[in-house]
Amino acid sequence: MKKQNINLYLASPRGFCAGVDRAVKIVEETIKKFGSPVYVRHEIVHNKDVVNSLAKIGAVFVEEVNEAPVDRPIIFSAHGVAKSVINEANQRKMISIDATCPLVTKVHNETVRHYNLGRHILLVGHKNHPEVTGTMGQVPKEFVTLIETEADALNVKVSETNKIAYATQTTLSLDDTAAILKILKSRFPDIKGPNSEDICYATTNRQTAVKSMAKLCDIILVIGAQNSSNSLRLVEVAIAHGVKVAKLIPDIETLEEFLNTFEAHTTPNIGLTAGASAPETLVQVLISKLKKNFEVNLLDHEVTKENVKFNLPKMLR
């Protein structure tokens, strides 16, 4: 039986961003310097394959600082942590290494700056996401309000409307965030924001690539974990821009299930991308799986080049 033809558009850029790359290297270099085990608070990035590969070389993942012994290094994840977490590690006299993405650190610093200037901060983001928890934990909780939706933006009450600022989670949808900020700026003309937008370059670039592929593709597959905010946003962006089917592929089993139900009588155009915490190895595995089932015409779909690099902490250089 002849294999069906498909056009596979491969998004570029895709996969690991500079912040994720740095966080993974921090764990690897900490193990090289201090031996194993080293402890990591929360998943270093939201991807099981990455977490499992680091566990194999000596990383132990814990939920809280007090689950790690005081005589071993503790690493804080790329999503950032509240000040209370850093204080706890300091009180226990632990060696702590911060793998927070520098772009998240920028949001932390802005939040603290607004607080120091007496402003109430409206943080646009998703409740319980570790990045949001970390950002909200930079200042006393009564000085920050979470805005998740346009309805929240319309209904939020602030006592001093001339003393407010906003910040955003770095992995949001550009379009959704723009709609929320438009409401906040029209309600509070004096609201202060960041000098440059908080949504990170990698989130922006991956979403731009998906929007561009959406014009060409019937289906878009996004490799990424179910708890990865930036990967989930890529699926939403694809659907919002007219793709009939957009699917998150967290593992090979999900891909197999998808391929089993996949039928198309014409040559379909499939777009493939990966969230900022998904390694390129998963992209290549998925391509080889598709090649087993289909005659694949692979097309590189590059929208921009990325050459951002972040330095490792001084302790590890």
Report the catalytic residues.
131
Name the nearest CA neighbour of 273 among 244, 296, 300.
Answer: 300
CB 8 within 8 A of CB 270: yes
Name the nearest CA neighbour of 271 among 17, 15, 7, 14.
Answer: 7
**Tokens 């299930």 -> residue:** 257
- State in Å, rounded, how far the first CA of the chain is from the last one: 56
Token duo for residue 18: 């500079």
DSSP 197: -
Token duo for residue 265: 């009588």
CB 40 within 8 A of CB 64: no
